Structure 1
């Protein structure tokens, strides 16, 4: 494998989006870049951490993103084409229930922490407990460009230009298109995960520092309103070999139905597998998928939550 032409180190990061942040480098379209990403806690949680460290988190350091990168020739109305390359995982990760954060924050008010150690070379499933092993699929949770609006903007919510998308399929081989709103685009990336379910329901995945490669290209006059992406192949093959357990939420409000579907899966895991409720919640976040199953049959919609059975194999 040839070496990328550019490298950005983990300390070259920023917190939040601001189009006034000077770029750490300027590249020509087609450039391949190696990027070293810190975890979403910016190193505040380590393999030696305990749950008390969750309570002490400095939220002013949460979700650092590495960059920004100025792409020559990029102007508003264009798109930056991001081809996601190989990941080099660190072998360490963490999952936490952070009070006030997550889909069921009102039901899980106490902090919790799960530390992970995984084979960084083989990327074999990581053990959650004595009864569950989670298949790994590295990806970057936060990947985006600077917004046109001046000033500092939180990195927590996703935006038109990308950001904290938490789409687990933004992994090796995927091509992502991000709409440009400022000159150069100002690309940044971070929040790398070793695994996550669709929905990231407790608010965290297997948060894990890692290095990765991206190739940044330019699509002139693309006119995209929001990000779009193309995957290189199947997206659930690492999970679906043994089928799923699924629970549902049904009603006129999608958010309520989503909460109900997840809460019922937690109840199932507590009852059938002897897990604590908060452990079940965190397991759901790292490997279970929320799906809209039906949204046309007035007045009620169906949201389903799928948990892969192979985690218990």
Structure 2
């Protein structure tokens, strides 16, 4: 099978089946992508919080591609095997006004620039407080073109993929996407070095080099939304968990995150902005209970292992 390459400059800002492919591939080919970070290069290691106020939002969350796979037809499924991911040696986490589950409580922009220790597989969140984050890279965006006419923003996810922000789609995982447009027109981007389940506000954003193998599947017509297979190491990780309980799931989510911020401020001497960022890069949101109506129980879980001085 052939190996193709997609350069950083070969990207686009909408899912649209009319966009001309940058690569024409065969089923089973491997594609290597060189992807900018989700800011489309607007944030650099020299950036400060003031940079966030001047971000051109219309240029965020670009994806590299699209790749046309010969023989891919509407009704088929695209199998995406994630083979390799390499991050840059730096990354960023930002609180962008108007974005995040607690956007009304954090209106001031904040930016953290990270140094990524790729050799040892972690990045310091706060060296003095002994808080470090394991690097678990994945592409936040993987998708194919919708079958409908028109351009669709890359910021939300769709049934055809897009901004899935699912940390389990790391190297070794396989994503299945329903094909709606001839050629599939696959694109990828939004590299993350780390993120907790649910996102909350932010991730550890970084440029990535990523290799995937693209295969047409004619035997998975039942794939109507993104499906995936993944392998997670079995661990006995200890967590501290806060919960939100309410009949409105969004209210419960907000409460769970807010109470975790309160815990991090009280027990680990973080500022509220730092604590919110830490929730984004390391905390996992989980639906604990959805049966006993009218209330939902949402958990916000932080692994204790990131607190090396605790």
**What TM-score range do you get, normalising by the shorter chain?**
over 0.9
Aligned position for 1:268: 263
**Structure 1 segment 106-255 matched on structure 2, within 5 A:** 106-120=104-118, 122-129=119-126, 130-131=128-129, 132-202=131-201, 204-223=202-221, 224-231=223-230, 233-234=231-232, 237=235, 241=237, 243-255=238-250
The separation in 1 between residues aligned to 2:3 and 2:269, in whole angstroms, is 51
Equivalences for residues 48-127 of structure 1 within 5 A: 48-120=46-118, 122-127=119-124
Deviation at 1:234, TM superposition (A): 1.5
| Structure 1 residue 151: Cα displacement | 1.3
Preserved CA contact (<8 Å) 1:246 1:306: yes
**1:16 corresponds to which of 14, 17, 20:** 14
The whole-number CA distance in structure 2 between the counterparts of 1:4 and 1:269 is 49
Looking at structure 1, the residues matched to 115 and 5 of structure 2 have their Cα atoms a distance apart, in angstroms, of 26
Report the alpha carbon displacement of residue 133 of structure 1 after superposing the two structures with TM: 0.5
Contact 1:4–1:34 (Cα < 8 Å) also in 2 = no
User: Aligned residue for 1:25?
Assistant: 23
C-alpha distance in 2 between matches for 1:214 and 1:125 = 24
Q: Which has the higher strand share?
A: 2
The CA deviation at 1:199 is 0.7
CA contact (8 A) 1:136 1:194 kept: yes
In 2, the alpha carbon distance for the partners of 1:178 and 1:265 equals 34
Q: In the TM superposition, what is the alpha-carbon distance from 1:301 to its structure 2 partner?
A: 1.3
- Give 3-state SS (helix, strand or coil) of 1:293's partner: strand
Give 3-state SS (helix, strand or coil) of 1:113's partner: strand
Change in Cα spacing, 1:169 to 1:251, as seen in structure 2 (3 Å) is same
CA drift at 1:124:
2.2
Structure 1 Cα separation of the partners of residues 52 and 120 of structure 2: 26
1:285 to 272, 280, 304: 280
Q: TM-score, normalised by structure 2?
A: 0.96
Structure 1 position 119, deviation (Å): 2.0
Q: How many residues align?
A: 305
Go from structure 1 to structure 2 and tell me whether the alpha carbon gap of 1:91 and 1:236 turns closer, same or farther (over 3 Å shift): farther
Q: TM-score, normalized by length of structure 1? A: 0.95
CA offsets, 1:226-261, max 9 Å, x none?
010001x22575xx64x1110000111111111100
Distance 1:181 1:123 in 2: 41
Extract structure 1 runs of 4+ deviating beyond 2 A: none
Q: Distance in 1 between matches of 2:86 and 2:2?
A: 14
